[in-house]
Amino acid sequence: MPEREADRSSPYSGMTMNNHGKINEREKNSMKAIVDPDLCIGCTLCVQICPSVFEMHDDKAFAYADPVPGSDIETCRDAARQCPVNAIILEE
Ligand code: F3S
C-alpha cells in the first residue's frame, strides 16, 4: 500500500532549501488535497477542521482549494490524519 502524505512525520518531506537553508516558498505552498469519493463516508470532520480547503457536496467532501494555501497546510494535514476512513490524499 502506498504511503499517504498524512503518514509522513516531516511537514516538508521532499522539499528543497535555498542557499540560505530556507524552504523554497513556492514548493512549500504547492500541496494538493484530494478526497477519494469512494472512501468518504461524509462524516464532515475535514470540513470542521479545515473549512478553507474542504466543503461538502451532497454527502461527500470535496477539496476546493487547489493548491492548498501555505497557511492552511498544517490544518489540512490534521484533517487528513483525522479522517476516519483515510479518504484524504495529499500530494506535494
Ligand atoms: Fe469524508 Fe473523511 Fe472528510 S470521511 S467528510 S473525507 S473527514
For a mutational test of ligand 1's pocket, the pick from 43, 53, 86, i.e. the residue with the most ligand atoms closer than 8 A to its C-beta, is 43
Report pLDDT digits (tens) over 35-60.
999 999 999 999 999 999 999 999 99
> Does 2 fall in a domain?
yes
Worst-scoring range by mean pLDDT, 29-33, 66-70, 82-86? 29-33
CA torsion 56-90-64-35 (nearest 10°) is: -30
> Does 56 fall in a domain?
yes
Q: What percent of the chain has pLDDT over 70?
A: 68
What CATH number did the domain enclosing 58 receive? 3.30.70.20
Please report which confidence band the pLDDT of residue 92 belongs to, taking 50, 70 and 90 as the band edges: confident
> Does 12 fall in a domain?
no
Residue 47 domain boundaries: 1-6+30-92
Could you identify the atom of ligand 1 that is nearest to the CA of residue 88? 6
> Does 65 fall in a domain?
yes
Instruction: State how many domains the chain has.
Output: 1
> Does 23 fall in a domain?
no
Q: What percent of the chain has pLDDT over 90?
A: 66
Nearest alpha carbon to residue 87 among 66, 15, 70, 56: 56
CB 88 within 8 A of CB 6: yes
For a mutational test of ligand 1's pocket, the pick from 4, 34, 35, 53, i.e. the residue with the most ligand atoms closer than 8 A to its C-beta, is 35
The C-alpha cell at 84 is: 476516519
